[in-house]
Amino acid sequence: MKTIDNIRKEFPVLLRKVHDKKLIYLDNAATSQKPKRVLNKLLSHYTKHNANIHRAAHTLGEESTLAYEDAHKIVADFINAKSWREIVFTKNATEAFNLLSYSLGNSLRSGDEIVISIMEHHSNFVPWQEIAKRKKCKLHVIGMKNNSVDIKELSKKINKNTKIVSVVHVSNVLGSVNDVKMISDIVHSRSSAKVIIDAAQSIQHIPIDVQHIGCDFLVFTGHKIYAPTGTGVLYGKKEFLESMPPFMTGGGMIEKVTVEKTTFGEIPYKFEAGTPPIAESIALGEAIKFVKELGLNEIHSHENKLIKYALDKLKKIKGITILGSENAEDHIGVISFNLKGIHSHDLATILDQEGIAIRSGHHCAEPLLNYLGLNDCARVSFAIYNTKEEVDQLIKSLEKAKKVFA
Amino acid sequence: MNSVIYREHILDHYKNPQNFGIVECADIIHKESNPLCGDEIEISAKIKNNKLADIKFRGHGCAISQAAASIMTENLKGKPMEEIMRFSREDMMNLLAIQISAMRMKCALLARHVLNKALLKNLNEKNNENHKRMKKELQNE
């Protein structure tokens, strides 16, 4: 394992200053920073290989196509999909959920039931709310027990009418983990429903094996795992992707088009209409190589040590309320909290003046915040390049903020 | 820490807001939240003899949005409506007298935005010059 100092050197942005202070980036759950090798991949694509994919018979076209396909293979291998064709590139996780809600939603009938949880990010909430409204389906929103989806309540809601169950792996607010394998098993044993997992906040922190989980679909976004923006991933079991109708139609996704009718191309291209973000997708492959070389177990171990260190220090601050569990083991990547008498936005502004980037607000999880009886909270989230010294600086700055508002 | 944003007068208004509450039998009333951060402000006011006889606000949110509402109501209370209708973004920023980053501008201007909406919604002066100007401004916010 490389030292954290050496890893930090790979992230050029960490050298910059904010308000004359060293940048301390603790907003990784919103988006991670990008290592040089990912940025270089973008540059080398555009300076050496740039061409559109699939159709060109020339050298650059072939290089681009192969590299783009290769990125699918790297992702497939990373999550242990059976085939690279089970990997669909979308522009982000939101698009992947919309694809699913439209494409799976196509066969929904009035009276069918969809199950999600109160822990969902809006991207895995609103698309289901919308399709349920359009198709007159029942939408069940499962509550929490011990900061995770209440398995008992979920089990009770699964029946022969359940068609879709879509739940988050790791909460973007609480950092708590759902036992997605158990959820998959329960749903599959009681219904023919498709199980969808939102891995946007887990893919960058813990190893994921889609065959072990047993889910039918899994969604994540590249920009939270050191890749450029514009790179979402939808994993889907081959048999389902093949039988589902396309979400968007047009160029790149067809087999044959005549005036009368169109037949669609093979997966994953059936779901990748139009010219995709080619360079960004290739750079996603590079980001995953970067993560694989460091090792997710190593990454998790480093981040978990930081979380433990931060939690121990945060708990000692008078007037603080930690959201979710107080045990480091129950937090993946994020810690959310509120300081009495200081709105999270004000906290974020004061910390920004100290060079520290944190998140504030409802974190695109308004139903969860309401469920917790809150309007907003502050969130710090960690990546492989964060250090204990940065946590120390965070704690100092929180004490300063308390003085401003005292 | 010498905060350029959290100056004494802002923190004073945040901790002890002026005109907090709701005006009974209000002539104009409007509530809105900032979808980005959830700050919420409701403005209610009474108009008498072409003057803003009473104005109150309630809501929740960050120090900037709540202090801005307090400072604005304190300043506008009792003023002639002609002046109220001309109360601009610049006037609001001058009242606040702090530097605000682009990301926090919405917090600073929320109270004035809600007041404008309240005035537009409740005042039947479609051809009034002020009315047209306010509408145009709102479209750009």
Contact list in A for residue B11 (CB cut-off 8 A) is: 404-405
DSSP state of A329: G
Q: Which of A400, A386, A393 is nearest to A26 (CA)?
A: A386
Contact list in B for residue A343 (CB cut-off 8 A) is: 61-63
Comparing CB atoms, the residue among A353, A361, A400 nearest residue B37 is A361
- Contacts of residue B97, defined as CB under 8 A and 6 or more positions apart, other chains included, come to B7, B9
Comparing CB atoms, the residue among A366, A376, A404 nearest residue B6 is A404
Q: How far apart are the CA of A40 and the nearest CA of chain B, in angstroms?
A: 31
B3, A361: Cβ pair inside 8 Å?
no
Question: Is residue B5 within 8 angstroms of chain A, CB to CB?
Answer: yes
Q: Domain extents for chain A?
A: 4-28+295-405, 39-292
User: Distance between CA atoms of B57 and A143, rounded to whole angstroms?
Assistant: 35
* Encoded tokens for A123: 């991207």
Mutate to test the interface with B, among A20, A349, A405 (most CBs of B within 10 A): A349
Q: How far apart are the CA of A400 and the nearest CA of chain B, in angstroms?
A: 7
pLDDT at residue number B1: 47
Comparing CB atoms, the residue among B4, B36, B63 nearest residue A343 is B63
Q: Which of A173, A179, A182 is nearest to A201 (CA)?
A: A173
**Domains along the sequence of chain B with CATH:** 8-139 (3.90.1010.10)
Question: Is residue B123 within 8 angstroms of chain A, CB to CB?
Answer: no
pLDDT at residue number A57: 86
Contact list in A for residue B35 (CB cut-off 8 A) is: none
Closest-approach residue (CA) in chain B for A363: B37
Q: Which CATH number among 3.40.640.10, 3.90.550.10, 3.10.580.10, 3.90.380.10 corresponds to the domain A39-292?
A: 3.40.640.10
Q: Quickly name the fold that domain A4-28+295-405 has.
A: Aspartate Aminotransferase, domain 1 (3.90.1150)
Active site residue A364: yes
Contact list in A for residue B62 (CB cut-off 8 A) is: 343-346
A345, B6: Cβ pair inside 8 Å?
no
Sort residue A298 into left (φ over 0), alpha (ψ -120 to 50) or beta.
Answer: alpha
Q: Evaluate whether A119 touches A149 at the Cβ level (below 8 Å).
A: yes
Contact list in A for residue B104 (CB cut-off 8 A) is: 345, 349
Q: How far apart are the CA of B122 and the nearest CA of chain A, in angstroms?
A: 29
pLDDT of B37 strictly over 80:
no
User: Distance between CA atoms of A57 and A206, rounded to whole angstroms?
Assistant: 40
pLDDT at residue number B136: 74
Residue A41, helix vs strand vs coil: helix
Reported as a single tens digit per residue, the pLDDT across B80-116 is 999 999 999 999 999 999 988 888 899 999 999 999 9
A353, B3: Cβ pair inside 8 Å?
yes
Q: How far apart are the CA of A344 and the nearest CA of chain B, in angstroms?
A: 7
> Would you give per-residue pLDDT tens digits along chain A (406 residues)?
689 999 999 999 999 999 999 999 999 999 999 999 999 999 999 999 999 998 788 999 999 999 999 999 999 999 999 999 999 999 999 999 999 999 999 999 999 999 999 999 999 999 999 999 999 999 999 999 999 999 999 999 999 999 999 999 999 999 999 999 999 999 999 999 999 999 999 999 999 999 999 999 999 999 999 999 999 999 999 999 999 999 999 988 888 888 999 888 899 999 999 999 999 999 999 999 999 999 999 999 999 999 999 999 999 999 999 999 999 999 999 999 999 999 999 999 999 999 999 999 888 999 999 999 999 999 999 999 999 999 999 999 999 999 999 8
Chain A: which residues have CB within 8 Å of chain B? 342-346, 349-350, 353, 360-362, 366, 375-376, 400, 403-405
pLDDT of B2 strictly over 60:
no
Name the B residues in 78-117 with CB < 8 Å from any A CB. 101, 104, 107
Q: Which of B70, B60, B56 is nearest to B11 (CA)?
A: B70
pLDDT at residue number A58: 94
User: Distance between CA atoms of A115 and A140, rounded to whole angstroms?
Assistant: 5
- What's the whole-number mean pLDDT along residues B41-52? 95
pLDDT of B3 strictly over 70:
no
A404, B39: Cβ pair inside 8 Å?
no
Q: What's at A196, amino acid-wise?
A: I
A376, B107: Cβ pair inside 8 Å?
no
B62, A400: Cβ pair inside 8 Å?
no
Comparing CB atoms, the residue among B5, B60, B63 nearest residue A375 is B60
pLDDT at residue number A116: 98
- Which of the four pLDDT bands, split at 50, 70 and 90, describes residue B127? low
* Encoded tokens for A164: 């879709």
Contact list in B for residue A404 (CB cut-off 8 A) is: 1, 3, 6, 11
A349, B5: Cβ pair inside 8 Å?
yes
**For A268, how many CA atoms within 13 A lie in the half-sphere containing its CB?**
26
pLDDT at residue number A1: 67
User: Distance between CA atoms of A274 and A252, rounded to whole angstroms?
Assistant: 5
Quickly list H helices, A117-205. 126-135, 151-157, 180-190
pLDDT of B141 strictly over 80:
no
B39, A345: Cβ pair inside 8 Å?
yes
